[in-house]
Structure formats: structure tokens, C-alpha cells
Copies of this chain bind each other. A is one copy, B any other.
Amino acid sequence: MSEALDRARAAHEAAAALGRTTDSQRTAAVVAAADAIQAATPAILEANARDVERGRAAGLPEPLIDRLLLTEERLRDIAASMREVAALPDPLGRVVEGRTLASGVRMERLTVPLGVVAMIYEARPNVTADAIALTLRSGNAVVLRGGTAAHDSCVAIADAAREGVAKAGLDPETIQLITSEDRAETVELMHATGLVDVLIPRGGASLIQTCVRESKVPVIETGVGNCHVYLERTADVAMARDIVINAKTQRPGVCNAAESLLVDACAADELLPDVLVALHEAGVELVGDEACRAVAQRAGVPMGEATAEDWGTEYLDLKMSVHAVDDVDEAIAHINRYGTGHSECIVTSDLAASERFLAGVNAAAVYANASTRFTDGGVFGLGCEIGISTQKLHVRGPMGIDALTSTKYVLRGDGQVR
């Protein structure tokens, strides 16, 4: 028997009772978990210090250490964000439709929890707290599998949250964290059909592709964002520059950052130079096709040669590929081929081109004249997000607590038969 299956079974058993709790019980439990995490600050920081020390000894790059690092302030923010989730309106028991059937049977369709949500994620301790708040608020039990590098921090956070939940009178078994570092446990979790209702992986492309390939429980694909900004021939040069710089450089390590710049070949000489200079000044490494390299050279901006692989690469870094296209249709085709269905943007002043792009691009979020960086649960008004879905089933785009619900038909009759 594996730990993953034991924990999935424990979550499955706890889920039924959690589904019968009231909104105020769940709200109180989320607040109690946040309080308990904040109260456990010394223990959590101590655990985190062990993780950070191990990470430094193992030569973890500094940005990853920073992602792993907790401080008193960061823990305060984590708890505050949990309390925001507690304050969201109840996602359960909402009647989304209803009617009386021809036979007189009264039918209604209600929102209900999914049941057991499993999350596999990388070394971000805050995801542990976010996932606990979001699943608890939506009446779901959770099985967490955090990155090994954050092991001690995740255990300390989950322990505190469980304590808080118990204090609020709910079953702490609704929160399960896999503590074994054996990789086989991850596979067991992906195979726990009948116990786990959905698996949400959060991390890099390789983690997500492994889950899609290996998992037998339903997976929601999240977060990989090979996002494009396309400068159509009628784009305003200043707007093009502002949007590209924002989409590429404001936070290059996140999934809604742009990775690739497309430009109409016939307008490259007017549109590109300003943008390339600004990117170069912001420290962005550029690679491009022949036409764009020629423009870059004339503008005095260094640009390497892009390989076919570059068009499909999410750099998550200060690097961008640049490609010239004939027109909006070629831009759409290029994006639909190489994009990951996350966030895509056209800069244009032509109405027809804008509408063609918005309709033709196959992605969770398609923008005309605004930065791809807006794709975010908070910005979209969901309060907080558990990930950004890049698939089309169940939910697409930022996933809030509503994405952690299903529906159920409830029918009341007085003896009707067919």
C-alpha cells in the first residue's frame, strides 16, 4: 500500500462529510487555517530554513531559492490571501437551472463540490496554503504533493492548517499531504481513479505533460504559456512598444508573459525598431528569422538566429523570439500551431484585423491592444486562482473556486414513472 493511495482514500472518506457542512462552517475553517498558519510562523520559518539550506547546498539557482524562501511578511501575505478566499461568496448549492418536467417532476441543477482534488506542484510553499484555502472553501478534500525542495515547509504549513481546521470543528483529514519523497507516490496519485476526482498539476511544461500522459484520473492542464504579441501593420508604434515591453519584461517568469513577437513583414521596418531597441535596453535577448534580423541590424540591436524550436519555446526568462508573417491569417495560423492556448495579443488599429484575430485564435484569453499579463484570477475578478487552465474541458483560463465545483440534478416527484 502506498502513502499516496492511503492519503487519497482518507481524503475520499473525509470528503462526504465536508460536502454536508454549511457555508459558515467552511468559511470559519478557512479563517482558522489562516490564523493557525500565521500563529505557527516560527515553526514554519524554521522548516523553511532547512529547505533553503538544503537547496543552497544542492546548488539551486537563486530565483528558485527566492521562490522557496518564506519570511514573516510572506507568511502574513499568505494568511491574508487565505482570508480573502474565506470572504468569497459560497460556490456551493447555487441553483444554476431548474424547471418542472412535463411529468410534473420538479428538477433543479445545483452546484456541488468535485469531491477530492489532487495537486502536484513544484517548490512553492505558498501553493500549499492557496490550495488548502480554495479546496476547503469549495467543500473539497485535497491531496497535496509538493516539490521535494519545499518538503519541510509544506509539511509545516499543512500541519498548521490541519490544526486550525480541527479547531474550527471540521475534520482535519480533509487536508492530506504526501510526505514520502518517493517519486513512485506521484504515479500512484495519478492512478487513484475512484478516489481522486481531478488532478491539477502546477509547474513547468514537463511536470504538466507527465500528468497528461500518465494520469488515469482526469487532469486539468494548466499554466504553460507560450504567449505571442502580434504587431499588425496598422499598429500604433508607441502602443506596440508599451505592450510588448510590459508583456515580456514586467514579470518574465510567469505563464502570461509573452515569449514571441510577430510582426507583419510589410510593416516591420516601421514597427520593429523602436520595440527592439526598448527590449534590448530592458535586457531581453532576441532571436529571430532572417527578415527580422535584417531589421534588427539596421536598428543596431543584436539578434541571434531563431531555430524552429524557438517558436515553440516558453523561455520564462528575458528572451524573446521574433518572427515576420505575411498577414493576420498567417499570424493566427502560427499562433494556433506553436501557442499553448494561454494568452495571445494583437496590436492593431484595424477593426477587421482585430475581429479576425479575436475570433480565429484558439486560446483561453485573446487580447486586442492590451497586455497578455492581464490573464489572472485576481484581475478577472475570481478573487484568487488555483491555476490557469489551457485546456477546453471543464474550465478555460483562470480557475477560481467555481472551477472546483460540479453540478448535480436533484428531482422531486410524487410517484411519476415513464
Contacts and interface: CB of A to CB of B under 8 A. Distances in A.
The majority secondary structure among interface residues of chain A is mixed
Given A212-B216, A374-B103, A243 B415 contact: yes
A360 B408 CA distance: 11
A370 B413 contact: yes
B242 A417 contact: yes
State the number of copies, please. Answer: 2
A218 to B, nearest CB: 5
Interface stretch (A61-69, A316-324, A387-395): A387-395
Contacts of A406: 392-393, 396
A418 interface: yes
A408 B374 contact: no
A256 to B, nearest CB: 9
Given A250-B418, A410-B358, A115 B367 contact: no
Interface string A396-418: 11000000001111111111111
A81 interface: no
Interface in A358-383: 358-360, 362-371, 373-375, 379-381
Contacts of A103: 370, 374, 379
Given A371-B417, A391-B218, A417-B371, A409 B105 contact: no
Contacts of A183: none
A39 interface: no
Contacts of A336: 16
B413 A364 contact: no
Contacts of A245: 417
Given A114-B392, A363-B408, A380-B409, A374 B418 contact: yes
Interface of A: 16, 20, 99, 101-103, 105, 107, 109, 112, 114-115, 193, 197-198, 212-213, 216, 218-220, 236, 239, 242-243, 245-247, 250, 336, 354, 358-360, 362-371, 373-375, 379-381, 391-394, 396-397, 406-418
19 contacts: A103-B374, A193-B212, A193-B213, A213-B216, A218-B393, A236-B415, A239-B414, A239-B415, A242-B415, A250-B418, A364-B409, A366-B409, A369-B415, A370-B411, A373-B417, A379-B418, A393-B406, A396-B407, A397-B407
